[in-house]
Copies of this chain bind each other. A is one copy, B any other.
């Protein structure tokens, strides 16, 4: 077995730095990986390799560089049978909690081996790159792979493993297992819902794509989710391995192309300067707070695409094509007629906290950022009738009020179960190392301001119902959506840009009504919301 010989040859060099690290468990982890345990657990390297690179032909995954927490969770699931694997179950059963942590830490610390696979060629390459980057929201409500596994596919935190550089055989096997229901330990059933919507050709294409991507350690989750075990259980127990039943697409919902305006295909952007500007607008829209052209106008961790899913294309997610044809329009918010540009400036002002940005203001009407966003919006609306402010799927279709009203307490429990996975228990979301936002912050200094549309409980409830959790739209009840919105908006966030130094006066003049907690409810710290606004 040349591989084993080769593996042993590596031991000495690996053990030295491991020992030098002095981490508790490091030596233990290496020992388990290389030698197994005294009670019969085989050395991990026997299948996963000394370098953790796995074995493509046999379908053994690469585990080097995976998140340790992710691996601990998988071992626990192997042990309990929640993740059904006859080979791994006895191994996991033979490990103590300490040993699981140690061996997970060991492999997590190993460098990710270079990807050896060749990337797919067209048409698979196109299929894969579209799914990885954009998903298929309009057609199937399908999120992009990169929306959870991070752009590049190296994962984030303990819930979203790196898949770049993973063996195609393993990726394919897992997608098929989720589809078949033979693997069902994914949080919220997210992977089940994704796999169910993929064709076999897409499974092959995506697996081949990621197998050829350069692997790297996952992004630190930073203020990452830390939901309780109870919450995790609650999140998955409702339907382990069961396809979520979204029911018939409700009015205003974009689960399919039927009945909604269809913006032009992404690859229909024209060549030339105008097309370049449209593409730049799309890029700015997706990563507003990190894009070099627009970051100076953003004072928090938000991007346009956080509230307008599928980069502004998705019905019932405030699609740009519906907004474009409805402006200029009179807005009660500022009591004047707003051009489309002024409306977008309002998004920067209120939702992206422009007052706290480097520029201290939204982009000017003739700035590169604004012209690009305008060109992109216009292009998405190609063919839409000018002046039609009733396009199906416009905005966030309002939810009916419920008999129970809405309750932040109820919402809090649900948040831990359904939302903290991505947005974190502290609501801070997840930022990538390059500054891009993977999961947007929902309160706190990096979130949208008081005064943003989303600070209204009715608006947030509508957004949640029709769009959350990502890829599981419409799976929450109206009541759950209302309660979640109330919980999220019962936390502090950046000040209303219109605040003039007097909370009571600002509340009286600009806030009020039953869907607005600003200045009227105490936050978690006991102060009135808006009294101690979040700032960096």
Contacts and interface: CB of A to CB of B under 8 A. Distances in A.
Given A374-B328, A386-B325, A366 B337 contact: no
Nearest to A385: B383
Contact of A342 (B273, B366, B387): B366
A396 to B, nearest CB: 22
Given A379-B387, A385-B385, A386-B385, A341 B365 contact: yes
Interface string A306-349: 00000000000000000011011110000011110110000000
A371 B337 contact: yes
Interface residues of A, number: 33
A206 to B, nearest CB: 33
Contacts of A341: 339, 341, 365-366
A384 interface: yes
A515 interface: no
A319 to B, nearest CB: 13
A285 to B, nearest CB: 15
A131 interface: no
A227 interface: no
Contacts of A388: 383
A63 interface: no
Contacts of A387: 378-379, 381-383
A387 B324 CA distance: 11
A328 B371 contact: yes
Interface in A340-380: 341-342, 364-366, 370-371, 374-375, 378-379
CB-based closest 9 A-B pairs = A365-B365, A382-B387, A381-B386, A274-B330, A277-B337, A328-B375, A384-B386, A273-B330, A383-B385
Interface of A: 272-274, 277, 324-325, 327-330, 336-339, 341-342, 364-366, 370-371, 374-375, 378-379, 381-388
